[in-house]
Amino acid sequence: MSETIRQIKDRLAAITDPADSYVAALRDDPRKGVQQALTQFRRRLERQAAALAAFHQRFRYEQALWQQGCTYVAGMDEVGRGPLAGPVVTCAVILKPSFDLVGVTDSKQLTQREREQLYLQIVNEAVEVSIAVNDREAIDRLNIYAATQDAMIRAVNNLHHRPQYLIVDAVPLKIPLPQTTLIKGDQKSISVAAASIVAKEYRDHLMRDYDRVYPGYGFAENMGYGTKEHLAGLAKYGVTPIHRHSFSPVKKYLN
């Protein structure tokens, strides 16, 4: 008795080699459903191959530095420079050469569920992860750019494994360590991408907590950015302790 289409799909789902003998045997199966299953199988392998190639491409900075003798390379990113409310969160991540989470990429390209899963895996597999936060008061006192730099430097200095090199997303740091600053670094470096995922998940959880403390602004959905709901909340309820006084249009609601 021949296998059902469902059984064939289940078997194909476990195969990663396009030259597998089982796959070859299905090529002569006349059923339309089997041929569709084979097409889906080939597309899946093509997507996986493309993802793996992109992963290795995003590892090129780290690989080059490891080959030069840099044992500890820290990737750095920040989240929260643009919102009207909440802290800026920075993260430094040191990875091992054996790190193999192919799904790690720019956090903005991932779903919430994907980020949550990768966050746990990154923290578990990394050599070390360091997070530093600057709150609303620090942002208003220093300005957002300086507050971001300050938090990034603290994230580096809090690492137990002193990095020999930094790969930083967009923000050069005044720190006595060699560094490469990359525009859109979370799309070009695995370490920076890992840092972006950890920083975003950490900040998103903070903002969801703030949403319970300060309801009416939609913090759980907008994460402090100036959405229509957030601006309506500002107009109706005024400024909360986590709103950035130096940002417009928060300023006009202070009095």
- Using DSSP's 3-state secondary structure scheme, residue 190 falls into helix
pTM for this structure? 0.81
C-alpha–C-alpha distance, residues 236 and 219, integer Å: 15
- Answer with the residue of higher pLDDT: 188 or 104: 188
Question: Both tokens of residue 172?
Answer: 């050069």
Q: Is the peptide bond before 241 cis (omega within 30 degrees of 0)?
A: no
Q: What is the pLDDT of residue 57?
A: 79
Q: What is the pLDDT of residue 35?
A: 86
Long-range interactions of 209-217: CB distance < 8 A, separation 24+? 210/85, 210/86, 210/240, 210/242, 214/240, 214/242, 217/85
Residue found under tokens 């920083």: 199
Confidence of residue 40 (pLDDT cuts 50, 70, 90): confident
Question: Both tokens of residue 46?
Answer: 């093509």
Residues in the chain: 255
Q: What is the pLDDT of residue 107?
A: 67
Mean pLDDT of the chain: 91
Q: What is the pLDDT of residue 106?
A: 63
Q: What amino acid is encoded at 107 in this protein?
A: S
Q: For each of the domains in the chain, give its residue range(s) and CATH number, in order of start.
A: 5-57 (no CATH), 60-200 (3.30.420.10), 210-253 (no CATH)
Task: For residue range 121-136, list pLDDT tens digits in order.
Answer: 999 999 999 999 999 9
Report whether pLDDT(239) > 90.
Answer: yes
- Using DSSP's 3-state secondary structure scheme, residue 182 falls into strand
**Mean pLDDT throughout 45-66?**
81
Of the ranges 4-8, 16-20, 119-123, which one carries the lowest mean pLDDT score?
16-20
Residue found under tokens 């006084």: 245
C-alpha–C-alpha distance, residues 106 and 90, integer Å: 15
Q: What is the pLDDT of residue 39?
A: 79
Rounded to 10 deg, the angle between the 190-213 and 32-58 helix axes is 100
Residues paired with residue 130 on neighbouring β-strands, in sequence order: 92
Task: For residue range 191-238, list pLDDT tens digits in order.
Answer: 999 999 999 999 999 999 999 999 999 999 999 999 999 999 999 999
